[in-house]
Amino acid sequence: MAKKDAIVFKYFKRVFDDYQVLVSVNPIDFSGTELIIHPDDRVEITKLQYDEEIYDDLAEDEFQESSPLEFQLYMKKELFERKQ
């Protein structure tokens, strides 16, 4: 993939009472990943296919835009722990 064709994902986050949810969305094809961070720091990863209304859905569910860094750190942590 050429540099000019790079996709810039959008990231969202919502903190609940005892867990948090981080979401990445590919704005081109609406594919993405959801991370659920449990109180014991366990990370649950789910690959999802969204539709064009994902941004409205996230706003309605009170998700806020967030940093890609936090999402990537949790993703790398989970993938690292799976290899152990």
Count of structural domains, the chain: 1
pTM of the model: 0.86
Q: Over the stretch 3-37, which tens digit does the pLDDT of each residue have?
A: 556 889 999 999 999 999 999 999 999 999 999 99
Mean pLDDT of 45-52: 96
> Which domain does 21 fall in, by range?
3-83
pLDDT at 1 exceeding the cut of 60: no
Query: What confidence score (pLDDT) does residue 36 get?
Result: 96
pLDDT at 48 exceeding the cut of 90: yes
Q: How many residues does the chain have?
A: 84
Query: What confidence score (pLDDT) does residue 3 get?
Result: 56
